[in-house]
Chains A and B, each alone.
Chain A
């Protein structure tokens, strides 16, 4: 009998265990305390947006004309981060793989950091702020540096600073693409015909595979970007761990989430404000509305 009622009292799952006891003495009435705040904030927003809408018209350009492309053509701003990525790697990675993995990783956060540390309060854990700052700093400026590198701005800086030419022996370091174009790769690995050499599907009566593998291209468009995007966060986490900045699961979660959000922000800023005609990198004040 006793054991029966005991098992009844046992929480069924971790989730139920997780429910916090209500502390009535700390509670306020929703009406008026909360409803009032909600009402005021809704009112303020409505007011601001109405004034904004009276002052600034939503854009309406010329009628769509499929036959001439404006330069540059840009996606809506919240997708310009992906469009920026697109300039640096294979479109399947930038346009599909990265967003899919990003959404999956966001969803996984609570299952990876499943501790109760730092719950229910801003910056509640002891190292929350430092991890957020380090992550955001590294994410933001790391991404900026990578963009500048891929746009050969280090070459520009070198030539500006020394008035010398960039040494031609280092041409392959001009940007990532140069690794493909400036290194004398043997012809044999530039076009490996998968269908002819590896998978002879026509022997099985299947259609032949017309895939031609270009190893240097694969390296530049897929392997290097993937390694960078996976490797740099791992390095950041390991270094932060070694320096005792990150110690608990919550610390690592804050570090990586902040780095990710800052990276996303930098990519959005770059795609929006630093890319002009031809998606060239330029100062924001040189970015003109697209010419059609």
Chain B
């Protein structure tokens, strides 16, 4: 009977082990490098970002054509908008005197400013589209059925919040487009039979779009609405897990 001796680890294996199971990597990823099913599940379960997911998921839901990643991409847009938005805030002052000049500076003199602004703009449009498409996919896959009714309602709120986020941001460049779009948009609010004018006054802080409107829209856009949206997104994601993951055929 010959006893097989394990081969001596090669140099690469030793380096690999040293790095991947060494103290530094282990201190970051407790479970070790995710190269076994056990470690992969631990990776998802113990990582604060990844644990939005379950550790295992139904085969059909991994297929791209089931969700087209639309909800995930909506969320990705939200993250991207937060990052580019914070960068834009470094340069932008929401006052009638400065707003437009700051925009010009961002577009022309700030290094990579144009990229930040363009990305922020196109991501905002994409997010509106993606959220709409996500709603359609949830509808046509019949994924709002019990017990997911309430998460659909949360979703509709997220849709409204997405539109409001986009709308409040629209005023900030303080150019013709911004000014008149918000004037037209808020006139619709003002036409409500009850408290229409009062609501419009509260929204834009006066009878006309001006300095008060700018600071109100800015505050809503950069802190008020993002906070509320974050809360509802947290509820949305939590409920997906609580409702037993994505809907599947009975």
Contacts and interface: CB of A to CB of B under 8 A. Distances in A.
Interface string B122-137: 1100101000000010
Contacts of B159: 106
A15 B150 CA distance: 10
Given A53-B118, A76-B170, A19 B243 contact: yes
A14 interface: yes
Main secondary structure of the interface of B (DSSP, over half): helix
Contact of B114 (A27, A45, A57, A62): A57
Contacts of B142: 117-121, 124-125, 250
B202 interface: no
B66 interface: yes
Interface residues of B, number: 92
Contacts of B80: 46, 49
A73 B59 contact: no
A271 B196 CA distance: 23
B51 to A, nearest CB: 10
Interface in A1-49: 14-20, 22-24, 26-35, 37-38, 41-42, 45-46, 49
B209 interface: yes
Contacts of A33: 57, 62
Nearest to A33: B62
Q: Which of B37, B50, B246 is the most central at the interface, judged by chain A CB atoms within 10 Å of its CB?
A: B50
B173 interface: yes
Contacts of A37: 62, 64, 69
A42 B173 CA distance: 28
B185 interface: yes
Contacts of A90: 191
A162 to B, nearest CB: 39
| 10 closest Cβ pairs, A-B complex | A95-B188, A53-B118, A64-B179, A110-B149, A91-B191, A58-B121, A73-B180, A15-B147, A18-B147, A120-B247
Given A45-B77, A59-B175, 20 more contacts: A20-B247, A30-B40, A31-B41, A41-B73, A45-B76, A50-B119, A52-B118, A52-B122, A57-B114, A58-B107, A60-B107, A62-B175, A66-B209, A74-B181, A92-B192, A96-B192, A116-B145, A118-B142, A119-B250, A292-B176
Interface of B: 34, 37, 40-41, 43-44, 50, 53-62, 64-66, 69, 72-73, 76-77, 80, 100, 103-104, 107, 114-115, 117-123, 126, 128, 136, 139-149, 152-153, 156, 159-160, 163, 166-167, 170, 173-181, 183-185, 187-189, 191-193, 196, 208-210, 243-250
